[in-house]
């Protein structure tokens, strides 16, 4: 079983935007994320710890301006916290092992797929293409990856 953790080395490799989002609870501007329109098959992992977070099969176009997913690939790798900033109550999602701020989850996702919308900053994610998953140690998740339509 792989070990996922937050390290000073991983933090030092983050771009300014990745650091601002993951370590300072920032949000990238809508429509600007590098993974927003990615339709390749694979998984999305925490940019800090490498822990698997979301599968391409669960990504969908929500129109919100950030990559959206219906569920985590490994629920234990996503922690939900109450967020009362900005004068509203929301549910923040963070990676469990990397403690990276990922985004928020909302109850307005596709009803036929569970009704949730995980609205995630591209800056908190690294995409691993299906063709590279086994070599990078994510082969156990191959059955959860399919082509995105």
CATH number at residue 20: 2.170.150.20
- In this predicted structure, what is the pLDDT of residue 3? 82
Per residue in 21-50, pLDDT (tens digit) is 999 999 999 999 999 999 999 999 999 999
| Residue 104 located in a structural domain | yes
Any domain includes 148: no
Q: Could you tell me if residue 13 is inside a domain?
A: yes
Q: Which domain holds residue 112?
A: 8-143
Query: Residue 73 falls within a domain, yes or no?
Result: yes
Residue 146, Cα to own-chain centre: how many angstroms? Answer: 17
Beta strands in the chain (DSSP E): 42-46, 52-55, 59-60, 68-69, 78-83, 90-95, 101-106, 117-120, 125-129
* Residue 3 maps to a domain: no
- Asked if residue 95 is part of any domain, the answer here is yes
Does residue 94 fall inside a structural domain?
yes
Collapsed DSSP state (helix, strand, coil) of residue 123: helix
pLDDT tier for residue 149 given thresholds of 50, 70 and 90? very low
User: Which residues form the catalytic set?
Assistant: 119
The gap from C-alpha 25 to its chain's centroid, in whole angstroms, comes to: 14
Q: How many domains does the chain have?
A: 1
């Amino acid at each position: 079983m792989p070990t996922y953790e937050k390290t000073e080395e991983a933090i030092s490799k983050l771009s300014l935007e990745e650091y601002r989002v993951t370590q300072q609870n920032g949000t990238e501007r809508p429509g600007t994320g590098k993974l927003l329109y990615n339709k390749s098959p694979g998984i999305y992992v925490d940019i800090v710890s490498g822990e698997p977070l979301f599968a391409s099969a669960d990504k969908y176009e929500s129109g919100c301006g950030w990559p959206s997913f219906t569920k985590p690939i490994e629920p234990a790798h996503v922690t939900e916290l109450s967020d009362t900033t900005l004068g509203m109550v929301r549910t923040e999602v963070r990676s469990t092992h990397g403690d990276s701020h990922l985004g928020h989850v909302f109850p307005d996702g596709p009803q036929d797929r569970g009704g949730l919308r995980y609205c995630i900053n591209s800056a908190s994610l690294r995409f691993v293409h299906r063709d590279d998953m086994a070599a990078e140690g994510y082969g156990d998740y191959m059955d959860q990856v399919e082509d995105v339509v």
